[in-house]
């Protein structure tokens, strides 16, 4: 009598993803090169496949490589304020927010919804992390990993102007600067942190240098310096008296000489970064045009009116247009927090990004998809 052959089930023959990954013959360098082209969401899933891949993805060198490639193709974040609730009895308030990530063609990547305490503003930035300032303190977020952490309590935190936030590439370090007027003196404190550090152990460092002016609007960080628009009269911030600079290496304040030109006292002025250079945006009261002054030479204090843009085709009302980025001869602009356009510098014409699905938003910033860790995953209100 012949014995029947027993067939192994397909389940027993199938190899697990972990065993396949362990037996891979690809070198570490090849795996790094492949992984560095993937979005952070995919990398977070690949970390759980096997120990080898987790070690590679957590490697500081790999994170740097992934950051470098991601920065060549940044994305946009559109932030919508879904609701603001205030409890009169307990004197508390919360703000529900939704972050929508899109590419430069308007294609949707993901959404992230969460709730923060207090009334919220978002600071300008162009890196992996974004920072919020509220009546209850500062929060930092990595949209790609959906980590959200409340920062250590500031010595003097509120939602008034004077904060600046950004990334210092040379030190792989994020910096938050908080300058405030206290008892008629403008004090300043700095918070620094690196990848995967414990933010609870970080602390604010109060600097001895005094700010020479009152600060209007949020600051921007370029290379190793923060910049704000400054004014001398505490009770009148409608005119620009100086551009205030804070050197993060020396931890000292100074002022930048303003460009020579006539500024409309009732106009709109603010600072942006284009092509890694400090730019002063100047629009008259009717906002029919926009002049963009570029600080060409910091040593010799040379400014150039690089762009003169006709805005007469737009009907602004109480809103305005904000330059976000410069790429290949075109300036990306946020128009009235409801549309995005490219301005062709040479042809002097606008082209709208058509396939946006987001409704009107409150803030828009560029960001880089990345693995910068905050050390604690946030489970938010969705």
> Looking at residue 160, what is its pLDDT?
66
pLDDT band, residue 225 (cuts 50/70/90): very high
Token pair of 148, please? 């959200």
pLDDT band, residue 304 (cuts 50/70/90): very high
> Looking at residue 338, what is its pLDDT?
83
Q: Is 198 exposed, middle or buried (0-12, 13-18, 19+ CB in 10 A)?
A: exposed
> Looking at residue 17, what is its pLDDT?
57
> Looking at residue 376, what is its pLDDT?
63
> Looking at residue 42, what is its pLDDT?
93
Which among 170, 188, 174, 108 has a CA at the least distance from the CA of 141?
174
Q: Bigger pLDDT: 331 or 10?
A: 331
Residue 211 clears pLDDT 50, i.e. is over it: yes
Collect all residues with Cβ–Cβ distance below 8 Å to 66 and sequence separation of at least 6.
35, 36, 40, 43, 370, 371
C-alpha 192, offset from chain centre: 16
Residue 130 clears pLDDT 90, i.e. is over it: yes
Token pair of 1, please? 């009598």
Over pLDDT 90: what percentage of the chain?
49
- Cα 84 to Cα 64: distance, rounded to the nearest angstrom: 38
> Looking at residue 244, what is its pLDDT?
93
Among 164-168, 306-310, 312-316, which stretch is predicted with the lowest mean pLDDT? 312-316
pLDDT band, residue 379 (cuts 50/70/90): very low
Residue 106 clears pLDDT 70, i.e. is over it: yes
- Say what the pTM is: 0.85
Residue 206 clears pLDDT 80, i.e. is over it: yes
Residue 85 clears pLDDT 60, i.e. is over it: yes
> Looking at residue 265, what is its pLDDT?
65
Token pair of 158, please? 């509120």
> Mean pLDDT over residues 322-348, rounded?
92
> Looking at residue 355, what is its pLDDT?
76
Strand 363-367: give its sheet, edge to edge: 108-117, 92-102, 75-87, 363-367
Residue 22 clears pLDDT 80, i.e. is over it: no
Phi, psi for residue 11 in degrees, rounded to 5:
-65, -40
Residue 220 clears pLDDT 80, i.e. is over it: yes
Residue 288 clears pLDDT 90, i.e. is over it: no
Among 15-24, 107-116, 309-318, 356-365, which stretch is predicted with the lowest mean pLDDT? 15-24
> Looking at residue 253, what is its pLDDT?
94
C-alpha 344, offset from chain centre: 24
> Looking at residue 256, what is its pLDDT?
92
Average pLDDT score over the chain: 84
Phi, psi for residue 62 in degrees, rounded to 5:
-65, -40
> Looking at residue 87, what is its pLDDT?
62
Domains of the chain, first to last: 22-69 (no CATH), 73-367 (2.120.10.30)
Q: Bigger pLDDT: 356 or 270?
A: 270
Q: Give yes or no for a contact between 228 and 123, defined as CB atoms under 8 angstroms apart.
A: no
Among 32-36, 57-61, 118-122, which stretch is predicted with the lowest mean pLDDT? 118-122
Q: Bigger pLDDT: 237 or 98?
A: 98
> Mean pLDDT over residues 321-347, rounded?
92
């Amino acid at each position: 009598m012949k014995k029947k052959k027993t067939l192994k089930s397909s389940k027993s023959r199938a190899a697990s993803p972990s065993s396949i990954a362990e037996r891979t013959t690809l070198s570490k360098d090849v795996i790094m090169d492949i992984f560095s082209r993937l979005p952070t969401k995919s990398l977070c899933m690949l970390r759980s496949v096997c120990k080898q891949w987790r070690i590679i993805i957590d490697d500081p060198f790999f994170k740097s490589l992934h950051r470098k490639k991601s920065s060549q193709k940044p994305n946009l974040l559109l932030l919508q304020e879904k609701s603001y609730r205030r409890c009169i009895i307990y004197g508390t308030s919360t703000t529900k927010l939704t972050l929508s990530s899109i590419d430069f063609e308007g294609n949707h990547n993901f959404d992230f919804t969460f709730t923060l305490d207090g009334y919220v503003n978002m600071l300008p930035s162009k890196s992996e992390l974004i920072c919020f300032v509220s009546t209850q303190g500062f929060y930092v977020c990595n949209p790609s990993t959906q980590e959200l952490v409340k920062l250590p309590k500031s010595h003097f935190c509120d939602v008034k102007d004077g904060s600046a936030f950004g990334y210092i590439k040379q030190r792989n370090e994020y910096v938050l600067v908080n300058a405030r007027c206290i008892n008629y003196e403008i004090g300043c404190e700095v918070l620094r942190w690196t990848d995967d550090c414990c933010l609870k152990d970080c602390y604010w460092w109060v600097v001895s240098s005094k700010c020479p002016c009152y600060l209007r609007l949020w600051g921007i960080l370029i290379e190793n310096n923060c910049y704000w628009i400054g004014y001398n009269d505490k009770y009148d911030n409608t005119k620009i008296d100086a551009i205030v600079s804070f050197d993060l290496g020396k931890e000292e304040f100074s002022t930048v000489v303003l460009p020579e030109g006539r500024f409309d006292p009732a106009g709109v002025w603010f600072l942006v970064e284009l092509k890694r250079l400090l730019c002063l945006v100047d629009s008259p009261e009717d906002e029919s045009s926009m002049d963009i002054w570029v600080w060409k030479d910091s040593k010799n204090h040379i400014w150039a009116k690089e762009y003169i843009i006709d805005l007469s085709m737009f009907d602004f009302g109480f809103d305005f247009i904000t330059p976000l980025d410069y790429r290949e001869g075109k300036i990306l602009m946020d128009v009235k927090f409801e549309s995005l356009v490219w301005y062709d510098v040479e042809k002097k014409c606008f082209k709208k990004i058509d396939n946006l699905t987001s409704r009107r938003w409150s803030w828009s910033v560029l960001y880089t998809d990345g693995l910068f860790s905050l050390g604690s995953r946030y489970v938010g209100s969705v």
